[in-house]
Amino acid sequence: MASALKNIIVVGGSYVGKSTAQELAKVVPNTHRVLLIEPHSHFHHLFAFPRFAILPGHEHKAFIPYTHLFNTATNHSVIQARVLSVQPNYVNIDRDWQGSPKIPFEYLVVATGTRLSEPAGMKDNDKISSVAYLQKHQADIKNSKSILIAGGGAVGVQMATDLKELYPEKEITVVQSRPKLMPQYHVGLHELIMKRFDELGIKFVTGSRVKVPQSGFPSTTPFEVQLTDGTTLPSKYDFVILATGQTPNTDLLSDLPSSSPEGLLSQSNGFIRIRPTMQFADEKYPHLYAVGDIADTGLRKAARPGATQAATVVKNIMAMIEGKKPVEEYPRSPAGIHLTLGLKYNVVFRNPDEAAGQTEPTVIKRDDGQADMGVEGWWERLGVPVTERQQYHL
Ligand SMILES: Cc1cc2nc3c(=O)[nH]c(=O)nc-3n(C[C@H](O)[C@H](O)[C@H](O)COP(=O)(O)OP(=O)(O)OC[C@H]3O[C@@H](n4cnc5c(N)ncnc54)[C@H](O)[C@@H]3O)c2cc1C
């Protein structure tokens, strides 16, 4: 039987979708319910995947049950499913929920983020397979003498420094096509990372990309690795980690017609075009919002600004429920990152706030890193405080 409640659907239950759904659930009137739709059985704490793909013993902690996201006495729900398509007033999911694969909505928030290649993102939706994958990755690393990392973004940098600290005898090479590591940031970050690479003895190759053979890298090791400029790297490798690129998850919008000649997605980068209110940049769909990495905000993709964007969306949806115009605009702050550069050494780096007249970045160096990256705090944020270690296996 169809529910009399009006649905506010949030698609995607990672950092930003989760925050949006939790914040909405705190404020929406009891005429409405929040439905969070996510194919993963558990919340994926992906900040820790690069570390847990190397360091054994913590991998199960990166998958946190959704069971306590909402107070069970309320009508809000987490639905384990994938949204196949968005229509103007309903979504189609890949299974039945309450007897139907169609779920109607009054408001929809798309928080589908991006797809990352393993080990930065998981291929499977369930915890057991993902934990097994990370354990196999740890074993492959342990059995390799020489490891190549393709990509000099956060995943590549964090994995290289963890690897070399944990296994100083292994040869670690990072290949980055652009001249600088983490090029979205002030050059000071590249310089700081290069210093760390030199201290640890990590090799850095720049100016070309790793050529991935069509059939994958050979299973007989060690093997040679070619670059797209036609050169072959001087060393031979046993294992390659692909830490490259992110693809926006927008398939679910393929059937939704746009009334704007520019379309729903940015033609330059494929992310969802939005207004400053985070509504789709299409007058036909004032009730559709995009938030987090999937939204074409022009800002650096990160979970932290995503949480403030979630607050913008919540205010605007509440205004619309109350019959008012949504006017809240998402904040714009300079890009920042909390980056590990080894098991203990980590750095908080923020680009200069040019609007405030700053010319230098903010750099906070710390030596307080924990092996499991303080994952416990994330369990609390999902409503599951950990009192016994056994709970990490939930
Ligand atoms: C190694 C690493 C470390 C990082 N560290 C930091 C950090 O310290 N601080 C920081 O602020 N940021 C950090 N980031 C960036 C941060 O992880 C991203 O900005 C963040 O994950 C974006 O969150 P999101 O919710 O927008 O999307 P995503 O995390 O990309 O999640 C999208 C979700 O949508 C779901 N989904 C996709 N398609 C569908 C569909 N059709 N139906 C239903 N669900 C769907 C996916 O399963 C997924 O759960 C880090 C990233 C990496 C890789």
Mean pLDDT of the chain: 94
Say if residue 3's pLDDT is above 80: no
Average pLDDT, stretch 79-100? Answer: 97
Domain ranges, residue 284: 2-118+246-321
The domain total for the chain is 1
Alpha carbon distance 191, 203 (integer Å): 15
Say if residue 381's pLDDT is above 60: yes
* Domain annotation covers residue 8: yes
Atom of ligand 1 nearest to the CA of 125: 47
Torsion from C-alpha of 196, 200, 205, 206, nearest 10 degrees? 0
* Domain annotation covers residue 263: yes
Q: Which whole-number Å values give the CA distances from 252 to 75, 79, 94, 110, 265, in the listed order? A: 25, 16, 11, 10, 12
| Predicted local distance difference test score (pLDDT) of residue 4 | 87
Alpha carbon distance 160, 173 (integer Å): 8
82 Cβ contact partners less than 8 Å away, ≥ 6 residues apart: 37, 39, 93, 94
Say if residue 245's pLDDT is above 90: no
Substitution candidate for ligand 1 out of 18, 19, 41, 46 with most atoms within 8 A of CB = 46
CATH code for the domain of 114: 3.50.50.60
**Based on the number of CB atoms within 10 Å of its own CB, is 167 exposed (0-12), middle (13-18) or buried (19 or more)?**
middle
Residue whose CA lies nearest to ligand 1 atom number 41: 83
Residue 273: pLDDT band with limits 50, 70, 90: very high
User: How do residues 338-360 score in pLDDT, each as one tens digit?
Assistant: 999 999 999 999 999 988 899 99
The answer to whether the beta carbons of residues 352 and 186 sit under 8 Å apart is yes
| Predicted local distance difference test score (pLDDT) of residue 354 | 87
Substitution candidate for ligand 1 out of 249, 250, 350 with most atoms within 8 A of CB = 249
| Predicted local distance difference test score (pLDDT) of residue 248 | 97
| Predicted local distance difference test score (pLDDT) of residue 153 | 92
Atom of ligand 1 nearest to the CA of 47: 3
Q: Are strands 42-44 and 63-65 parallel, antiparallel or unpaired?
A: antiparallel
| Predicted local distance difference test score (pLDDT) of residue 2 | 59
Average pLDDT, stretch 45-58? Answer: 96
Say if residue 1's pLDDT is above 80: no
Atom of ligand 1 nearest to the CA of 306: 26
Alpha carbon distance 34, 17 (integer Å): 11
299 Cβ contact partners less than 8 Å away, ≥ 6 residues apart: 305, 332, 333, 335
**Cα 337 to ligand 1 centre (Å):** 14
* Domain annotation covers residue 235: no
Substitution candidate for ligand 1 out of 9, 112, 158, 301 with most atoms within 8 A of CB = 112
* Domain annotation covers residue 237: no
Residue whose CA lies nearest to ligand 1 atom number 5: 47
Q: Which whole-number Å values give the CA distances from 350 to 95, 216, 347, 363, 366, in the listed order? A: 43, 37, 10, 7, 14
Residue whose CA lies nearest to ligand 1 atom number 20: 303
* Domain annotation covers residue 227: no
User: How do residues 4-24 score in pLDDT, each as one tens digit?
Assistant: 899 999 999 999 999 999 999
Average pLDDT, stretch 40-53? Answer: 97
Helix (H, G, I), strand (E, B) or coil at 372: coil
Alpha carbon distance 134, 122 (integer Å): 9
**Cα 170 to ligand 1 centre (Å):** 31
Residue whose CA lies nearest to ligand 1 atom number 28: 113
Q: Which whole-number Å values give the CA distances from 274 to 112, 171, 313, in the listed order? A: 14, 45, 12
* Domain annotation covers residue 14: yes
Please list the alpha-helical segments (H only) found in the chain.
Answer: 15-27, 49-52, 127-142, 154-166, 187-200, 303-321, 376-381
Residue whose CA lies nearest to ligand 1 atom number 37: 112
Average pLDDT, stretch 305-333? Answer: 95
Q: What is the DSSP letter of 152?
A: -
pTM value is: 0.95
The answer to whether the beta carbons of residues 287 and 320 sit under 8 Å apart is yes
**Could you tell me what percent of the chain has a pLDDT over 70?**
99
User: How do residues 158-180 score in pLDDT, each as one tens digit?
Assistant: 999 999 999 999 999 999 999 99
**Cα 72 to ligand 1 centre (Å):** 25
**Cα 24 to ligand 1 centre (Å):** 19
Ligand 1 pocket: which residues have CB below 6 Å?
A: 11-17, 37-40, 46-47, 50, 82-83, 111-114, 116, 120, 154-155, 158, 249, 252, 292-294, 301-304, 306, 338
* Domain annotation covers residue 231: no
Tell me the longest C-alpha to C-alpha distance in the chain: 67
Residue 120: pLDDT band with limits 50, 70, 90: very high
User: How do residues 365-379 score in pLDDT, each as one tens digit?
Assistant: 999 999 999 999 999
**Cα 111 to ligand 1 centre (Å):** 9
Atom of ligand 1 nearest to the CA of 50: 1
Residue whose CA lies nearest to ligand 1 atom number 35: 12
* Domain annotation covers residue 87: yes
